[in-house]
Amino acid sequence: MIDAALLDEYIERFSNWGRWGDDDQVGTANLITADKVAGAARRVRRGQVVPLGLTLGDGGPQTGANGRFNCMCYAIASGTDHELGRQQFGGKPLPFQMGYADDTVVMHLQSSTHWDSLCHIFHRGRMYNGYPASESTASGSARNGVQHLTGRLVGRGVLLDVPSSKDLDWLEDGYAITVDDLEAAAEFGRVRVASGDIVLLRTGQLARCRVQGWGTYAGGDAPGLSFLTVPWLHEHGIAAVASDTWGVEVRPNQIEGAFQPFHLPALVYMGLSLGEMFDLEALAAACAEDGVYEMLVSASPLPFVGTAGGPPGPVAIR
Amino acid sequence: MIDAALLDEYIERFSNWGRWGDDDQVGTANLITADKVAGAARRVRRGQVVPLGLTLGDGGPQTGANGRFNCMCYAIASGTDHELGRQQFGGKPLPFQMGYADDTVVMHLQSSTHWDSLCHIFHRGRMYNGYPASESTASGSARNGVQHLTGRLVGRGVLLDVPSSKDLDWLEDGYAITVDDLEAAAEFGRVRVASGDIVLLRTGQLARCRVQGWGTYAGGDAPGLSFLTVPWLHEHGIAAVASDTWGVEVRPNQIEGAFQPFHLPALVYMGLSLGEMFDLEALAAACAEDGVYEMLVSASPLPFVGTAGGPPGPVAIR
Amino acid sequence: MIDAALLDEYIERFSNWGRWGDDDQVGTANLITADKVAGAARRVRRGQVVPLGLTLGDGGPQTGANGRFNCMCYAIASGTDHELGRQQFGGKPLPFQMGYADDTVVMHLQSSTHWDSLCHIFHRGRMYNGYPASESTASGSARNGVQHLTGRLVGRGVLLDVPSSKDLDWLEDGYAITVDDLEAAAEFGRVRVASGDIVLLRTGQLARCRVQGWGTYAGGDAPGLSFLTVPWLHEHGIAAVASDTWGVEVRPNQIEGAFQPFHLPALVYMGLSLGEMFDLEALAAACAEDGVYEMLVSASPLPFVGTAGGPPGPVAIR
Amino acid sequence: MIDAALLDEYIERFSNWGRWGDDDQVGTANLITADKVAGAARRVRRGQVVPLGLTLGDGGPQTGANGRFNCMCYAIASGTDHELGRQQFGGKPLPFQMGYADDTVVMHLQSSTHWDSLCHIFHRGRMYNGYPASESTASGSARNGVQHLTGRLVGRGVLLDVPSSKDLDWLEDGYAITVDDLEAAAEFGRVRVASGDIVLLRTGQLARCRVQGWGTYAGGDAPGLSFLTVPWLHEHGIAAVASDTWGVEVRPNQIEGAFQPFHLPALVYMGLSLGEMFDLEALAAACAEDGVYEMLVSASPLPFVGTAGGPPGPVAIR
């Protein structure tokens, strides 16, 4: 276990509160400069587009625990209704033998592929950049809502495929990914991690679930970042980390009695965007095939106003 | 008015059913080849990222008509709860003075920025590629669901800013955009429209709503494509058209008694992806500034399983 | 206008905090004793059952303002799907040519016929019986949730049909119902209002809306109780007041700058159950027909856990 | 196992299609006459009100299977927001130190205490009274929606406490309640079952779940009515049967390969209202205490328009 004193130390050493102004609601995503975007785009070679999101529907990982559930899709008009002549729109039958389908979804925003926004986690009554936690109410947050990340999180991505770099199919639950692991994975992919990068961190847990079933994927034990990687992430100017687990960091947690302690220095103090439940399997296969582990990532979240997270329609373009 | 006979003629002449195989669920988005994606990426110059989606929340255009409503966001945990020590997770208080926010949203998928999927519209009991409409049921569609477009709709975008090409702030409701208008707008932007392009069609209606209020933006009259542009779209191999109106095509409609007749040849028979309520205002300003009207568009929709549409987190990268 | 000082006076004079114990979460509904229930049941004569709730669906009064909307019903399985052989349950076709329909609803609990629960309104950081307002969080209220009223609000009802007692079809918006009006309506109905009664207060606004349309029925001006009826309600030991308007009390409000001021002494301090948007039209007709204005009311709310209100399946049995 | 031929025989012998007119949408609930209601009310003795519904929230029996889930309650305004001065209504702070809470719920109508409506089950393309199944669409059913039962299902209730009559705490899963069991339970309660009665059928499964946990209560095996009780229900003119299990009838089912076969003659052909997941534990205790097993039941469902079921706020008044 790691001493809880390190939590306070990291918070003090790595806080970005005020770094991009007192009004900033974006955090480390500010490190993605136009130059970085243009550079990433220029290095696209094959024109291959790889989606990075889990499908949204019945087959997701959620069990209902903690109020999180798989996306529910409700058709409010259907082809069967059309085929049987039972359909109206605006109170009238549709002309010219036309029909339509429409849907409503009920979706918990932290339940599938998503970015945490910077109002997702609080510490001692504050959220990122020092705003009072009470800016976040039952009707949403007036600060750090996910809409402030819209148009961001597009830039150079590097896939750090940790299990492949160790010649494993996946990392086991509870495996804490170290700085050495990160650097070995970068070397494996022949990429240099640079300021403003979006790190796509593959643990392979999703690969394992595809073989063994979801189990406790949502909210349970997982491989993930060690708490001790915080300095490395800060020093390298990482803009965002998106992983294939529910919470990016290793579980069980490394500090006695804590719950997701990495989130405190990373999300609350650094303002580091954390992407969770990204599907990196197809991407890992594509990178393995041609040996290119950098790409243009486009993962701007949907601009829900004031929410604590939100899904992008994420793709890697390579 | 246009003679209804043209509807049948267009359907016959421009149908793509079977063109990409009997199992195709993608339509004209197939025209976006890897070469096109790579080419579009290479031409990114400034590294500027412009989001193209409306914000999701109270302030949207819907009125509740036709079962369509503005996205409702529900916080299930809040900063105020944290600040007052009233928060639990998994039935226990959170340790280390930590707190969190989480949200559920209820969202109608055709009510803000979205792509129609190819099961959105039926004609004579069929949907795109000839699948029976009855593949679409109360629990979603087994064919042509929006998830089949995920990873697509990333490619070269061209902004056709019709009102600016005419030195207008916006087109008036009921204005039918002609082939000549499209070509004049392309010339205005010094772009050549090519096979596989994603056409971003600005009418300016959204600019007008920002001045005058939403009014009947959702479901009412609008400027938009003339029915007579179908041949041009087909001949140029357009992959997708995304516009800043609720329904892409001009309203009132041009065929007596019809409802959104352009959707029939375009969506049902050509399999043309239609993007609706895209916000092109910031993009138009950016293009006007540097005179560059082509870009990389990244607008892969969220992979809802079996729905008739879905939002992307759309951006133009330029 | 009424002097705001009266607000504080009424709060002090009529508060029931502590009256039924420090743990009470029921308020004046405690006044409905078993004797009263038995007495009311014994006086049922015709065996007529009159429902008192608005239908739940598209046709309701809400406009979306204040996050309130008409109940949305989503079929997740339909007869059209069954008829076309497109239906499964549990992943398999149903045997024996069987089919089914099921539905999900999304419903705002204050948007149609409902009882306010005693955590619906706060004053100076407190709710009924002095509990801190902060017992009510984004995940519901640990005190005074509507489930505590379940099994209550069944007892003797008296219909006070104010407009009929004045030979009017309805009262106009802004009409403040006085103590004299209440007594005249009781006399008109030949009923004596007694301790533990559920007062069904008809203003006729709903009758007017059925002629003229909903207009601003939800949240706008309305006839209703004068603030000055608080002493009368307290002295008569009224258990509950259910009216045919959205908020029971007269609008515009009678105290300068206040918003629904009657709710403060009545709901927060007396713990008086307020029923809103009850449909009393059929009941008024039935009472007019046989001249009997007392009845057994059965209006126990659904036991949603921790919500600020909830619908009953209300009926008058007479 | 029971021979499947009996299904067709019962359908033919016990169908009520047309019995109450070609337009009937109510079924056996028609048997509850005004005389019966008045008689039941007159026999109320103690004035005791016993609620019969499960609480609606996190703690319910659903697991998410078959699209059924426990009611989700979302506060859209909270006391914590009020206490911290973070609350607005209609875009403005509330005056006079007032605050409020409001909630939205997302609820699957077959997932807790509810009545099936007569459009819940189809057979061979038809629903009760012969209406085509296709009256039921993705946007609800034009026939036999639950709103037609509103104002019904109020009348004489008899509790048939089968396990208590056998000196058991509960019946085991798979136990098929026979006609003899029903009659023994009536005798045990010293009640005579009569035409128009609402039978409250206790199996004790809920008592067992309170000891052992929900397990597969929702959708799994259960004690319940034998298929062979259909003639008895028909001959006695039972208006409705409400039980404490998810599906009233015994599971596993008694006809090879069938799914809930009792529902076919009972619900589709007789039009028998079936109440599911009623909580009869407190009622059983009350009846045991004073030996009175008849009561006035008030269980009119909420008038959702066109849904396949709906919750009442059910109470027994005794």
Give the per-residue pLDDT at A90. Answer: 80
Residue (of D247, D240, D161, D173) closest to D205 by Cα position: D173
The two three-digit tokens of residue C159, written as one number: 């219909």
Both tokens of residue B286? 């950016």
What is the spatial distance between Cα D270 and Cα D263, in angstroms, rounded to a whole number?
10
Assigned token pair, B28: 């004209």
Burial of B77-87, coded b for 16+ CB within 10 Å and e otherwise, reads bbbbbbbbebb
When CB atoms are compared, the residue of B76, B80, B138 closest to D84 is B80
| Minimum Cα–Cα distance from D131: chain C residue | C79
pLDDT confidence band for A130 (50 / 70 / 90):
very high
pLDDT tens figures, C299-310: 999 999 999 999
Phi/psi for D161 (5° steps) reads -95, 85
Report the distance separating Cα A121 and Cα B98, nearest Å. Answer: 7
Over pLDDT 70: what percentage of chain B? 100
Residue C90 has pLDDT above 90, yes or no: no
Contact: A104, B100; criterion CB under 8 Å: no
Average confidence score pLDDT of chain C: 97
Q: What is the ipTM of this complex?
A: 0.97
Picking from C70, C80, C102, C108 by the largest number of A CB atoms within 10 A of its own CB, the best residue to mutate is: C80
- The pLDDT > 70 percentage for chain C reads 100
Mutate to test the interface with C, among D50, D122, D149, D295 (most CBs of C within 10 A): D122
How near does any CA of chain A get to the CA of C76, in Å? Answer: 6
pLDDT tens digits for range D286-310? 999 999 999 999 999 999 999 999 9
**Closest Cα in chain D, distance from residue B137 (Å):** 8
Indicate the pTM of the whole model: 0.97
**Partner residue facing C83 (CB), from A67, A72, A84:** A84
pLDDT attached to residue C66: 87
- Cβ separation C299–D306 shorter than 8 A: no
Q: Which one of D35, D80, D125 has the shortest CB-CB distance to C83?
A: D125
The arithmetic mean of pLDDT across residues C109-123, rounded, is: 98
* Entry field: residues in chain C: 318
The percent of residues above 90 in pLDDT, for chain D, comes to 97
Q: Taking CB atoms and an 8 Å cutoff, what residues of chain B touch C308?
A: none
Beta carbons of B112 and B275 less than 8 angstroms apart: no
3-class secondary-structure state, position B273:
strand
Q: What is the pLDDT of residue D17?
A: 98
φ/ψ (deg, to 5) at D182: -60, -45
Q: What tens digit of pLDDT does each residue of D71-98 get?
A: 999 999 999 999 999 999 888 899 999 9
Say if the Cβ atoms of A104 and C74 lie within 8 Å.
yes
If residue D294 lies in a helix (H) or strand (E), which one and from where to where? strand D294-298
pLDDT score, position C91: 83
Q: Which one of B137, B143, B305, B307 would you mutate to disrupt binding with C, by most C Cβ within 10 Å of its Cβ?
A: B137
| pLDDT band with cut points at 50, 70 and 90 for residue D66 | confident
d(CA A225, CA D227): 58
Question: CA C313, CA B254: separation in Å to the nearest integer?
Answer: 49
CA–CA distance from D198 to each of D162, D265, D294 (Å)? Answer: 16, 18, 10
pLDDT 10s digits, B158-197: 999 999 999 999 999 999 999 999 999 999 999 999 999 9
Q: How many B-C residue pairs are in contact by the CB < 8 A criterion? A: 51
Asked if B81 lies within 8 A of D86 by C-beta distance, the reply is: no
Q: How far apart are CA D316 and CA A84, in angstroms?
A: 43
**Cβ of A81 and C78 within 8 Å?**
yes
Which chain D residue has the Cα nearest residue C298? D298
- In angstroms and rounded to an integer, the radius of gyration of the C-alpha atoms of chain C is 21
**Two structure tokens written together for D13:** 């012998």
State yes or no: pLDDT of B91 exceeds 90.
Answer: no
Inspect the interface and report whether the beta carbons of C308 and D95 lie closer than 8 Å.
no
Average pLDDT (D198-224) is 97
CB B231 within 8 A of CB B14: yes
Residue C18 burial class via C-beta count within 10 angstroms: exposed 0-12, middle 13-18, buried 19 and up: exposed
Whole-angstrom distance, CA of residue C84 vs CA of residue C78 = 10
CA B294 to CA B312: how far, in whole Å?
A: 19
- Report chain C residues whose CB lies below 8 A from the CB of A138: 137-138
Measured between beta carbons, the chain C residues lying within 8 angstroms of D141 are 75, 79, 101
Selecting from A72, A75, A138 the residue whose C-beta is nearest the C-beta of D138 gives: A75
Q: Do the Cβ atoms of C89 and D101 come within 8 Å?
A: no
With beta carbons less than 8 A apart as the criterion, state whether C76 and C102 touch: yes
Chain C neighbors of D308, CB-CB under 8 A = 75, 100-103
Chain C environment of D66 (Cβ under 8 Å): 89-90, 102
- Please report where in the chains the tokens 């049909």 appear, as a residue: C161
User: Which residue, D316, D306, D317, D300, is CA-closest to D114?
Assistant: D300
Residues 6 or more apart whose CB falls under 8 angstroms from that of A165 comprise A181, A184, A185, A187, A188, A189
Residues of chain D positioned with their CB less than 8 A from the CB of C132: 79, 83
The tokens for B4 are 């209804």
Q: β-pairing, C154-161 with C198-202?
A: parallel
- The answer to whether the CB atoms of B80 and D76 lie below 8 A apart is no
**Overall average pLDDT of the D232-261 stretch:** 98
C84: nearest CA partner in chain B: B134
For position B90, what pLDDT does the model report? Answer: 80
Please check the confidence at residue C228 and state whether its pLDDT lies above 90: yes
Angle, to 10 degrees, between the axis of helix C281-290 and the axis of helix C205-212?
120
What pLDDT, on the 0 to 100 scale, is given for residue B66?
A: 87
pLDDT digits (tens, 9 = 90+) for C2-55: 999 999 999 999 999 999 999 999 999 999 999 999 999 999 999 999 999 999
CA distance C246 to chain A (A): 22
pLDDT digits (tens, 9 = 90+) for A3-12: 999 999 999 9
Which residue do the tokens 């034009």 mark?
Answer: D142
Q: Name the residue facing D138 among B83, B86, B138 (closest C-beta).
A: B138
pLDDT at C198: 98
| Cβ-nearest to D300 among C71, C120, C313 | C313
SS3 readout for D205-274: HHHHHHHHCCCCCCCCCECEECHHHHHHHHHCCCCEEEECCCCCECECCCECCCCCCCHHHHHHHHCCEE
* 3-state secondary structure (DSSP) of residue C89: strand
Q: What is the dihedral of CA A52, A58, A63, A67, to 10 degrees?
A: 90
**Over 90: is that where the pLDDT of A65 sits?**
no
Q: Which chains would you list as touching C if contact means 3+ CB atom pairs under 8 Å?
A: A, B, D
Nearest alpha-carbon partner for D240 in D68, D36, D74: D36
Integer Cα distance of D275 and D311 in angstroms: 9
Query: Closest chain A residue to B49 measured between Cα atoms?
Result: A151
Residue C210 carries which DSSP code?
Answer: H
In the three-class reduction of DSSP (H, G, I as helix; E, B as strand; rest coil), residue D138 is classed as: coil
For D107, the closest of C104, C138, C317 (CB atoms) is C104
Rounded to a whole number of angstroms, the distance from the CA of C76 to the nearest CA of chain B is 5
Q: What angle do CA A40, A44, A49 make, to 5 degrees?
A: 110
Which tokens sit at A316? 């890697």
Length of chain B: 318
- Contact residues, chain B, for A96 at CB < 8 Å: 4, 7, 123, 257-259, 261, 264
Contacts of A92 (CB under 8 A, 6+ apart): none
SS3 A64: coil
Enumerate chain B positions whose Cβ falls within 8 A of a Cβ in D: 67, 72, 74-76, 78, 80-81, 83-84, 86, 104, 106, 137-139
Question: Which of D178, D181, D179, D176 shows the shortest CA–CA distance to D162?
Answer: D181
CB B47 within 8 A of CB A41: yes
Is A96 within 8 Å of B134 when comparing Cβ atoms? no
Give pLDDT tens digits for B128-156.
Answer: 999 999 999 999 999 999 999 999 999 99
